[in-house]
Amino acid sequence: MPLVQYVIVTAAYSNAVLSAIMPHISDYAKQLDLPIPLPITQSQISHAGIDNRLGRVGAGIWLTNNYWFMFSFGTVISFRLNTNNPFLEQNPTGNWSKYAYGEINMTKGEAIQLARDSIEKLGYNVKELNADVPPTTFTGPYTLPNGHQVPYCEFTWDVKAHSKETVKTAHYYEFQVDMDRKHLIAMSLIGERFWTTNPPLSVKPILVEDAINGGQSRMHTNTNAPAELTHH
């Protein structure tokens, strides 16, 4: 297996990566009807973590409204709303009452159908993705001993690879649903079947080893959105 090569995440490289992937993230948000002004602009980006591996045009993008997106292997593989998400809560007993109480306005079956509808919105076929069967796991919603309801659920379809022949069909799909407001708060579609080509970059990456040999200093891989982010 060849060694992974790393690039220096200069401001120019960061700008090029963001310019290349933001149209894809905007399209993804539009397809899922996420409550985000479109197209996503520089002013909406809080910070970004740029993938510094050669050949990987990818990043994690945090928006100012607390939506997060992960772009890798030529596609958006995940999104998550980081605000008022009980599945991210470290102290549910102490904090759920501040934001998570509500009404359970969907059945589990309706939440699963919402996930399947979202898969279809992205242009995939539920049956071809093997998401027409019951989920592998399902947790929530919750009714607490005091009678309060926490109307959120999380479920997955998880098929692991057991041989080289099954690697391409292995997958992990994860969904989190707000069952009060009836909308997705997180979604991941992970598996080789989703991989596509990297979007082209407007700059040539600088390898770390070349920079070291040339006397340049190594830069951090996590960066805020650059000052001159261009959009298509």
Which of the residue ranges 62-71, 74-83, 91-100, 106-115 would you say has the lowest mean pLDDT? 91-100
> What is the band of 228 on the pLDDT scale with cuts at 50, 70, 90?
very low
CA atoms within 13 A on the CB side of 45: 28
What are the structural domain ranges in the chain? 1-74+196-232, 101-195
Question: What confidence score (pLDDT) does residue 159 get?
Answer: 85
Identity of residue 186: A
Radius of gyration for the chain, computed over Cα atoms and rounded to the nearest angstrom = 20
Of the pLDDT bands very low, low, confident and very high (cuts 50, 70, 90), residue 230 is very low
Residue 7: φ, ψ to 5°: -110, 160
Q: What is the predicted pLDDT for the residue at 214?
A: 62
Strand order of the β-sheet with 59-63 is 137-139, 152-159, 171-178, 183-190, 75-81, 67-72, 59-63, 45-50, 222-223
- pLDDT category, 43, cuts 50, 70, 90? confident
Bridge partners (DSSP) listed for residue 172: 158, 190
Model pLDDT, residue 223: 44
Cα distance between residue 110 and residue 116, in whole Å = 10
SS3 11: helix
Chain segment 167-183, per-residue pLDDT in tens: 677 899 999 999 999 99
Q: Per the structure block, which two tokens stand in for 124?
A: 């995939």
- The predicted-structure confidence for 117-157, as pLDDT tens digits, reads as follows 999 999 999 999 999 999 999 999 999 998 999 999 999 99
Residue with tokens 């099954």: 166
The confidence score (pLDDT) of residue 42 equals: 81
Asked if residue 103 lies in contact with residue 109, where contact means CB atoms within 8 angstroms, the answer is: no
Q: Can you read off the two tokens belonging to residue 42?
A: 């520089």
**In the prediction, which pLDDT does 1 show?**
44
- pLDDT tens digits along 8-31: 999 999 999 999 999 999 999 999
In the predicted model, is pLDDT for residue 51 greater than 80?
Answer: yes
Q: Where do we find the tokens 């080509």?
A: 197
pLDDT value of residue 209? 78
Task: Give the separation between CA 28 and CA 79, rounded to whole angstroms.
Answer: 9
pTM, 2 dp: 0.86
Tokens of 152: 């959120």
Average pLDDT for 202-215: 78
CB within 8 Å of 178: residues ≥ 6 apart = 151, 152, 184, 185
Please tell me the predicted confidence (pLDDT) of residue 18: 95
Nearest to 57 by CA among 71, 42, 40, 78: 71
The pLDDT of 67-71, averaged and rounded, is 97
